[in-house]
Amino acid sequence: MMPRVRLKLSGGSLFCPTINNLVITFAFVSFFRTKLLQTDISDFPFDRHECRMAFTNAISQEKSVNLTLVGQPTLPEQEHSEFAVLSIEGKRCHHRVVLAKRWKHLIFRASVAWRTSLHLFTVLLPTVAVVLLSLLVFWLPPESERKITLIGASLLTSLLLLYRVDNIVSRSSSVPKIVKVLGGGVLMNALIAATTVLSTNMARSAPSCALPAFLVKSSEFVAHRLPCPCPAGRSGIGDDEEGVQNKSYNNAVAREWYTAARALDRVLGLVFAAAYVALCL
């Protein structure tokens, strides 16, 4: 429940209650030139934010415009607001125009906070889960059938989260950090999906041509000597380990391509993990 705003006109009073998405609706808008709620939610999904309201009587200068706060609203649509107003500060200034006319320009800054921590469970934690899910793709063996499923679920979830966040931060004057993370996550998930298809084809349907010698040596070093949570000879989570171990690569060229696919997954896993860290900083 948020405080109401009363606009005192020369002919009476006008109540302007705030609604869920922090928009203030003004009746008789012909009396005013309004610039509503430049809201700064750049620190979303954290709890406190700032918003700014400004209006003037420049159009109808004979009207006297003041603003006072009144008690808590009783409108049903405001009882479920996601925000609570902590404080409102006002500043009054006068502007001059041609013919020496002056009009009032009122600016109000409101500090608001989330009423509950629901947004942490509907936005923040799912975002962390999407990041971990997309990185989990590189932990699975190259020939795993579950890699495409994981990255597809991660991409779909990140798109749904962007839709959820848009309803909250669409009026923000600056781009929140979590929007940058989710937007970058959608792009990286698309790239991960493309590289997953590539590495899976390298492991399952190896070309007949041999890899250059320097690529073979580099792949063997990355795949066998660098530390990894899923070392050689073991499958990733949930895969049929016996089936992976029994998979034979009698052809030397096929073994080289399989090793290259494993090395590619490890390198890309490190690259995308670093990219996510850079987005969050």
Q: Return the number of other C-beta atoms located less than 10 Å from residue 245's C-beta.
A: 11
Instruction: Identify the three-state secondary structure at position 140.
Output: coil
| Nearest Cα residue to 175 out of 166, 163, 186 | 166
Instruction: Identify the three-state secondary structure at position 100.
Output: helix
Rounded distance, CA 55 to CA 32, Å?
7
Q: Picking from 92-101, 149-158, 224-233, which range would have the lowest pLDDT averaged per residue?
A: 224-233
| Nearest Cα residue to 87 out of 117, 116, 109, 55 | 109
Over the stretch 18-65, which tens digit does the pLDDT of each residue have? 433 344 433 333 344 444 445 666 667 666 667 666 666 655 555 565
CA distances from 265 to 30, 178, 192, 207, 222 (A): 62, 26, 10, 18, 10
Rounded distance, CA 113 to CA 83, Å?
5
pLDDT-derived band at 156 (thresholds 50, 70, 90) equals very high
Supply the DSSP symbol for 124. I
Instruction: Identify the three-state secondary structure at position 22.
Output: coil
Supply the DSSP symbol for 58. S
